[in-house]
Amino acid sequence: MKLKEIYNLAIERGIEADFRGKDGIEKLLKKLKEKYEKMEEDQKEDFDVERLENPFSDTRILFGDPEKEIKKILTGIDIDGEEILLAKELSDIDLVLSHHPRGKALAGLDDVMQLQVDMLVQYGVPVTIAEGLLKKRIEEVSRGIAPINHNRPVDMAKILNIPYLCVHTPSDNLVARFLEEKLKKDNPQTLEELMKSLREVPEYKKAIQNGAGPRIFVGDEENRTGKIMLTEITGGTEGSAEIYEKLAQAGAGTVVGMHMSEKHREEAEKAHINVVIAGHMSSDSIGMNLFLDELEKKGIEIVPCSGLIRIKRI
Ligand SMILES: [Fe+2]
Ligand SMILES: [Fe+2]
């Protein structure tokens, strides 16, 4: 597969699994195109035209010829300088693939948080509340990532001439859908049953053995789950801490997430929402595995590293 084919496949799968739906994304891209066409020439020069085709600003080819044929990939949850050096050491790696964004994809992380608005609306939160709370939080995240030396590993990849790709929200969309289907099928009634259902997923099973398995952050095993919401799996990064009260009003009983800050946990507790944290590296691994399986099917060799728990479903 060519590098650009891998990149395009990630976008395609990400759109298919997106909470906004294919139509929603098409509308969004159309609106952006109209905005772009109205821009002055100097504004157009600075505009990232890839945004017109790719709705995930945290998923980008950071370095490398898109036409390059890829046979072997070193991939992990975080690919930084160390892993790029490792790729050089291994000598036959054609591409390094990171889940967490780096370079301009990290700088664009705040943009994908928009999808949280649609997700919250689907769970019954009024759109004005979702938009209002997210707007504030997106600005906070944008200011937070601004000082990061986000191009550091990209510079390294350029010097060592190793193609570099990151696939973030498309992969998180895949794990969100995966968990949605799994929980729908198992239909857990208590937190104990919910934990049992998660333990059946091999990535979580391995994470338990490594001391990082699913955990109840708020609530007790015997608590009833009520309505389960997967609001903290995809959408860039953690949303607003003020959302839990609104989620409770929208009927949430339990939130399942990948990770959660203490501030968010406290707010969820105050709102009487149970929280189950499935695990960060393990949940990110599920999304990446679903994507990597497709690459393996096409004959690409996968070398997992950097926290990626590689489980094949093919
Ligand atoms: Fe992720
Ligand atoms: Fe992550």
Q: How far is the CA of 81 from the centre of ligand 1 (A)?
A: 20
User: How many structural domains are present in the chain?
Assistant: 2
Interval between CA 284 and ligand 2 midpoint (Å) = 6
Q: How deeply is 92 buried, as exposed, middle or buried, from its count of CB atoms within 10 A (0-12, 13-18, 19+)?
A: exposed
Interatomic CA distance for residues 98 and 34, integer angstroms: 32
Q: Is 310 part of a structural domain of the chain? A: no
Q: Are 288 and 167 in contact (CB under 8 A)?
A: yes
CA of 34 to the centre of ligand 2 (A): 32
CB 78 within 8 A of CB 307: yes
Distance 211 CA to ligand 2 centre (A): 17
pLDDT band at 63 (very low <50, low <70, confident <90, very high): very high
The answer to whether residue 65 is domain-embedded is yes
If pLDDT is split at 50, 70 and 90, which confidence band does 44 have?
A: very high
Is there a single domain that holds both residue 22 and residue 144? Answer: yes
CATH of the domain at 104: 3.40.1390.30
User: How many CB atoms are located within 10 Å of the residue 164 CB?
Assistant: 26
In a domain, 313, yes or no: no
Tell whether 187 and 129 lie within a shared domain. no
Which tens digit of pLDDT belongs to each residue from 140-192? 999 999 999 999 999 999 999 999 999 999 999 999 999 999 999 999 999 99
d(CA 200, ligand 1 centre) in Å: 20
**Per-residue pLDDT tens for 232-269?**
999 999 999 999 999 999 999 999 999 999 999 999 99
Q: Are 246 and 191 in the same domain?
A: yes
Same domain, 132 and 254: no
pLDDT digits (tens, 9 = 90+) for 195-225: 999 999 999 999 999 999 999 999 999 999 9
Residues 136, 196, single domain; the answer is no
Q: How far is the CA of 40 from the centre of ligand 2 (A)?
A: 37
Residue 311: inside a domain = no
Same domain, 71 and 156: yes
What does the pLDDT read at residue 135?
93
Alpha-carbon dihedral 228, 234, 239, 243, rounded to 10 degrees: -20
d(CA 29, CA 11): 13
Residue 227: CATH number of its domain: 3.40.1390
Model confidence at 108: pLDDT above 90: no
Distance 303 CA to ligand 2 centre (A): 19
For residue 231, the enclosing domain spans 174-280
Indicate the average pLDDT of the chain: 96
Residue 198 lies in a domain: yes
Average pLDDT of span 56-81: 98
Under a CB-based contact definition with an 8 Å cutoff, are residues 243 and 222 in contact? no
Same domain for 252 and 289? no
3-state secondary structure 231-278: EECCCCCCCCCCHHHHHHHCCEEEEEECCCCHHHHHHHHHCCCEEEEC
Domain check: are 190 and 82 in the same one? no
281 CA from centroid of ligand 2 (Å)? 7
Q: Same domain for 268 and 197? A: yes
Sheet holding 215-218, edge to edge: 215-218, 274-277, 252-257, 227-232
CA 114/CA 30 separation, integer angstroms: 16
Neighbours of 242 (CB within 10 A): 15
Ligand nearest to the CA of 14: 1
Tell me what pLDDT residue 110 has.
87
- Please state, for a pLDDT cut of 90, what percent of the chain lies above it: 97
What distance in angstroms lies between residue 278's CA and the mean position of ligand 2's atoms?
Answer: 12
pLDDT (0 to 100) of residue 111: 86
Average pLDDT over residues 300-306: 98
